[in-house]
Amino acid sequence: MADLRSTTTRALPGGYSFAVASVIFGPLFGPGYLLLRDAVSTPRSYLTDSALGLGDAAPRAVPQDAALAIASSIVDGGVVVKLILFAALWLSGWGAAALVRSMLSGVAVGPQLVAATVVMWNPYVAERLLQGHWSLLVGYAALPWTAKAAIELRSGSGVRGWCALAVCLGAAGLTPTGALLAIVVAVVLVRPKQLIGVGAMAVVTSAPWLYAAIASGAGATTSDPAGVAAFAARAEPGLATFGSLAGLGGIWNSAAVPTSRTSGFAFVGTALLLGVVVIGAPYLWRRRQDRAVFALACTAIGALLFAAVAATPLGISAGEWLVVEVPGAGLLRDTQKWIALVVPLYALAAAAGCQAIVARFAEPEQPNPARFLTPAASILLLLVALPDLVWGVGGALRPVRYPASWERVAESIDTDLPGAVVVVPEGMFRAFPYTGRAPVLDPAPRMLPRDVLQSGELIVAQGRVDGEGSRAAEVEQLLATGAPVTELAVQGVGWILVERTAVGRAGKPDVSIDGVERLYADDELALYRVPGVAAEDEKPRGAALFAHAMWSALLAGGILGSVFYIVIRVRRRPDES
């Protein structure tokens, strides 16, 4: 009976988190592809130089794009992205429950469910979904698991702890930001003598984007200082910037915000969330001598202060100096995303507060409504604090269907011929009739089997933020000025794709192209071949592939080691009994 109760206690948070993830995921269970702002899923993507991070732009989607290119050669890419996103939502809550169970002695199921709700149902998750940062949410989901693995490693869990940490860092390493978030959590929690091992794992999990930044030259490139103010955290109605950040909101893009956070209700929602969290503060204060609690608290406070100060005039000035003088510092400019480091502490505090209330009003081993009502009330308050996260953030996350034109264009490109693709209209973002009103990242770089030149330039409410792609910017200028195709060929342009129904930076495409061969055309897309393109120098793909293989081996090795440990543990149980 005791074993059955223990199994139920451990399984219930996972089942609860699965149900909550399903409510959030909502419309994405239907057929179609995720295509919203920065999120681009396609039926098939390809292992191009850009997918390996060897293009002109900074390798922000490495190793994500390469992993999807390989996976989509086996399974539909849209399904792969949906599975990863759903798993991230589900495992974030389950991980929060597992973390508090490992840190709070004798914690009941109710407080674990409260912790799971705090991590899953908050403005950070909603805003990153609306911004299309599905892969960042993988790193976000890894944080409670990383904290748990690091704490257990600190307590002497040995090989099992290292395997668990390898899985966490490898999964978080799907994006550079995710890798850095998980590395920070691991570093602050392990013992000093374990830092060498963590450092080695950090290098391996970051190898794909670190190598790509060095090999492509992006690592030596500075960023447009205009991006610092453009991507700074934003104050919500009724809240200062610090209050918005403390409530896990304040993303830079006011268009990627749930409706409930665009009015005075943002203050109410923040108060409800912080109310559930702050109740546990006295309990955590009494445990301040606990190294793990102290480290999580310092990390959370540091993340909040960093994001808040970075949004002040002084912080913006310092950030502008940093991105101009320090190559690669542009990775830090979206400062609000770093408040993900607050979430493990919030989960712990919410569970601790719920547990303290139950302990105060419920007698041990005696039936008492407080055991149920306290966590139920806390969960209800958290849900009310952000009512429009339900069903794909109010239906905003709905799958789209690509026209058949995209597949035909991809088939029309001969990968044996040299050259890259340039897209008209110019710019990275556009709107299609089938995507709704929100701008979307151009799917061409993921959809086509050749590199697509993109400058990385962004148009935001505050103005223009220049990208790192100088070659792409030059090509876009040639197209805009009607330069002869011979000049495009000199720049290595082999194909021109005209997205006829797209509305881009300069409106709908209006281009006259002479001296090119039309390969495909319909009402949606037109593809042209530029003659006389010389073969380009080969990029160092071998080393890039090796870096990706190292990351994959870390993740796979950690998974296999963890599974092996679980199997051994299950087999030993009958013998122990």
pLDDT of amino acid 577:
46
Query: What mean pLDDT is predicted for residues 306-319?
Result: 97
Q: Identify the residue whose tokens are 């281009």.
A: 511
Domain membership of residue 234 (yes or no) is: yes
**For 87, what's the count of Cα atoms within 13 Å in the CB-facing half-sphere?**
12
Domain count, the chain: 2
105 with 19, same domain: the answer is yes
What pLDDT, in 10s, does the model give residues 235-284? 999 999 999 999 999 999 999 999 999 999 999 999 999 999 999 999 99
What pLDDT, in 10s, does the model give residues 146-179? 999 999 999 998 899 999 999 999 999 999 999 9
pLDDT at residue 418 tops 60: yes
pLDDT at residue 462 tops 80: no
pLDDT at residue 4 tops 70: no
Per-residue pLDDT band at 317 (split at 50, 70, 90) = very high
412 with 432, same domain: the answer is yes
What pLDDT, in 10s, does the model give residues 369-381? 878 899 999 999 9
459 with 321, same domain: the answer is no
Domain membership of residue 66 (yes or no) is: yes
CA-based end-to-end distance of the chain: 14
427 with 331, same domain: the answer is no
What pLDDT, in 10s, does the model give residues 106-139? 899 999 999 999 999 999 999 999 999 999 999 9
Q: Residue 444 belongs to what domain range?
A: 405-529
Q: Which residues pair with 431 in a beta bridge?
A: 503
| Residue where a domain terminates, one of 395, 428, 446 | 395
C-alpha span between 443 and 428 (Å, rounded): 9
pLDDT at residue 37 tops 60: yes
With a CB cutoff of 8 Å and minimum separation 6, the contacts of 546 are: none
347 with 447, same domain: the answer is no
C-alpha span between 263 and 267 (Å, rounded): 8
Per-residue pLDDT band at 3 (split at 50, 70, 90) = low
Residues in the chain: 577
Q: Are 185 and 146 in contact (CB under 8 A)?
A: yes
pLDDT of amino acid 540:
84
pLDDT at residue 534 tops 90: no
477 with 361, same domain: the answer is no
Domain membership of residue 453 (yes or no) is: yes
> How many other β-carbons are positioned within 10 Å of the β-carbon of residue 540?
16
User: Does a cis peptide bond (omega within 30 degrees of 0) precede residue 63?
Assistant: yes
410 with 385, same domain: the answer is no
C-alpha span between 308 and 322 (Å, rounded): 17
Q: How far is CA 459 from CA 463, 465, 492, in A?
A: 6, 6, 26
Average pLDDT score over the chain: 92
Q: Which residues pair with 517 in a beta bridge?
A: 529
345 with 422, same domain: the answer is no
388 with 427, same domain: the answer is no
Furthest C-alpha separation in the chain: 85
pLDDT at residue 1 tops 60: no
Per-residue pLDDT band at 443 (split at 50, 70, 90) = very high
The proportion of the chain whose per-residue pLDDT surpasses 70, expressed as a percent, equals 93
pLDDT at residue 355 tops 60: yes
pLDDT at residue 463 tops 70: no
What pLDDT, in 10s, does the model give residues 375-414? 999 999 999 999 999 999 999 999 999 999 999 999 999 9
423 with 349, same domain: the answer is no
Domain membership of residue 208 (yes or no) is: yes
The least confident of 175-179, 356-360, 531-535, 565-569 is: 565-569
119 with 200, same domain: the answer is yes
pLDDT at residue 221 tops 80: no
Domain membership of residue 50 (yes or no) is: yes
